[in-house]
Structure 1
Amino acid sequence: MSSSPIATVKRELLVRHLEAWAPAALHRARRVIYAHGYADADGGVSAEAAMRVLAEQSDLVRGRELIMVATGDDLGAIDPRLKTISAESGAGAGLAVHTISGGTDGRLPVGLKAVGAQRVPVLGFLDASGSEPPAPATVAALTAGKPSEMLLVLPPGSSASSVDAYRAGWPLFTQVELADSEEPGELLVYATTAGKSLEGFKEALWSVDEFAGVRYRDPGDPERHLIDISLTPHPGPLRRELLAHLAQAGEATVTELRTFALTETVYRAADATRVLHTLVDAGTVTRRPSHGRLGGDVVISA
């Protein structure tokens, strides 16, 4: 059982994201799929936490299908615990859990196909921080959903090239390092096919409770600055990344820079707006037109 501060942050982030995703998905479709890979990696603690969130949707599940597919090396001890939570939810046959032992790489794509995950809302959570990372094909199997989302955790020190291998099929893709020291931390990747879902993930990212010593690091920050978890995060790394982006691009609209912050950094679009105001006020960048509201069509130049 994993009880480290980083493990606690990951579970809280998963729970917060599920609490927002599940009701929205059930309003959108009659069948909804949640896939939990490496379910035995932490003794089933994260899988149970996820199952409890799904069980809370009992009122919304009636007349629909909310299915959890859990895979791992050996789920013999976890299966009855998950099914007990499902049975006690009062959701009846609408809430179901399928546990598949034999490894996530070999079983998750097969399990998704078996429960009919094509063209229905799908969310996948794969915490491979303590094992071999999944094959790109395993992650790509989640993109059969419409819309689809993924939370993937990779071991400390994962290279940029290894992360890029998972981008196929995901139009929106971002990552954040979870660290408790100057050493490389676990890498949390979030990918989605829907822009609003990315905004929701970023809000959850910065609103989780602070746990002893756990901070974020933006993989794109050359100075590897550690950022405290806060609703108003330190703007230093974002300032550096926006200026580096402008130095390369020459100029960009406020909308383009907000999108850059949302998709290419750990920050939110609103954080970019705040930083741009300070950069303009300080004369570090110029704007066109030079006066008026800092709207989306205002052009910012290095």
Structure 2
Amino acid sequence: MAERVGRPDPHGSVERDVLVRYLDAWTATVLRSPRGGTYVECGEFAADAFRVFGEFADRLAEHPLAVVLVGRPAPGGAPAGLAVRTAGDLREVEVSGPMLAHLCGPWPPGLVRGKAHEVLLSAEPGTDHRDRLRAAGLGCAVAVDLVADDGTARALVFATADSRHLATFKTELWAADEFAGIRYRDPADAEGTLVDISLTPQLLPLRRALLAELDRRGAATVAELQRFTLLETIYRPEDAVGALTAAVAAGQAGREPEKGRLSSRTILSAARWASGSPGSGAAP
């Protein structure tokens, strides 16, 4: 009887896919800087990272790019021009310039302190690491649970000091493999709704979050609610428009002006204030 081949871990498959996608965008950015960058790998994705860096092999000679592998030897396949070193422990790692670190457990506070430092953390669900990362200066963060068909879950947390990089990460998050057997769950969603990975995702959890924020504020512009979407949910800023349009159509929110497509300057008001004047930006 032929030996049964186990299915790959769906959590790891999606984590790898998201990391590789974002690493490609991050590398293109840091190689435009004379300072270059450093990638710190604490998991099992060194070979995947080498393949990404190999796509930029023609630029590595003129732009410094380093890889630090923590707790494991370096595999083969590193492209020429890539500086590779190993460290036995994260406490041995010091990075002064731009850095992206893929972490799989606790980290020393000093590692993530830096304006150009970014972190992708794999962790057990239920523990929100964003406060600690924000306290270290990485004020733009998102946490998402990867939930498999059997109900098992793993959390991914991404943190950066640059909101544009957070937006890029979310773009790659929703472009991951939709057939890997994973659905997303926003840890902040009280109903724990599972959402299929898709470039056009289900927006009901986002609509609930936006209506709750509107109820708290009384009124807000679409731009302000897009900013909230970026910083406080698993969704992308552009997703807010669809969720808000549905909320207005369902009578769950008011708008000013009353006609036309929603623009960044359109003012939305909570349903309980919809008959009043939302222009003040706060509940009367």
Note whether the superposition's TM-score is higher than 0.5: yes
Q: 2:132 aligned to 165, 188, 197, which one?
A: 165
Q: 1:110 aligned to 92, 112, 117, which one?
A: 92
Partner amino acid for 1:122? M
Cα pair 1:123 1:142 within 8 Å, conserved:
no
Alignment-derived partner of residue 241 in structure 1: 209
3-state SS, counterpart of residue 258 of structure 2: coil
Highest Rg: 1 or 2?
2
1:24 aligns with 2:29: yes
Matching of residues 34-73 of structure 1 within 5 Å = 34-37=39-42, 39=43, 44=44, 46-72=45-71
* Runs of 4+ in structure 1 over 4 Å off: 181-184
How big is the shift at 1:257?
0.5
Cα pair 1:215 1:227 within 8 Å, conserved:
yes
Identity in percent: 39
- Deviation sequence 1:141-190 (CA, Å, 0-9, x none): 2232x42221111113x333x55333211121111110014746211111
Cα pair 1:9 1:211 within 8 Å, conserved:
no
Cα pair 2:22 2:172 within 8 Å, conserved:
yes
Partner amino acid for 1:123? L
Using the size of structure 2 for normalisation, the TM-score is: 0.86
Q: Which ranges of structure 2 fall in alignment gaps of 5 or more residues?
A: 1-5, 271-284
1:97 aligns with 2:84: yes
Q: Over aligned residue pairs, what C-alpha RMSD do you find? A: 2.0
Cα pair 2:229 2:236 within 8 Å, conserved:
yes
Report which stretch shifted further, 13-22 or 163-172.
163-172
3-state SS, counterpart of residue 269 of structure 1: coil
1:4 aligns with 2:9: yes
1:122 aligns with 2:99: yes
- Deviation sequence 1:243-301 (CA, Å, 0-9, x none): 11111221111111001111111111111011111212222100123234422122211
Cα pair 1:178 1:185 within 8 Å, conserved:
yes
Q: Give distance in 1, aligned partners of 2:150 and 2:253.
A: 32
Q: Give distance in 2, aligned partners of 1:97 and 1:217.
A: 36
Q: Give distance in 2, aligned partners of 1:294 and 1:12.
A: 33
The structure carrying a bigger helix percent of its residues is: 1
Partner amino acid for 1:98? R
Cα pair 2:33 2:63 within 8 Å, conserved:
no
Aligned length: 264
Q: Give distance in 1, aligned partners of 2:28 and 2:133.
A: 27
Cα pair 1:151 1:191 within 8 Å, conserved:
yes
3-state SS, counterpart of residue 189 of structure 1: strand
Matching of residues 1-302 of structure 1 within 5 Å = 3-37=8-42, 39=43, 44=44, 46-72=45-71, 75=72, 78-79=73-74, 81=75, 84-86=76-78, 89=79, 91=80, 94-101=81-88, 107-111=89-93, 113=94, 117-118=95-96, 120-126=97-103, 128=104, 133-135=105-107, 137-138=108-109, 140-144=110-114, 146-156=115-125, 158-160=126-128, 162-168=129-135, 169-181=137-149, 183=151, 185-302=153-270
- Deviation sequence 1:83-124 (CA, Å, 0-9, x none): x312xx2x3xx31111112xxxxx32432x2xxx32x22111
Using the size of structure 1 for normalisation, the TM-score is: 0.81
Partner amino acid for 1:154? A
3-state SS, counterpart of residue 141 of structure 2: strand
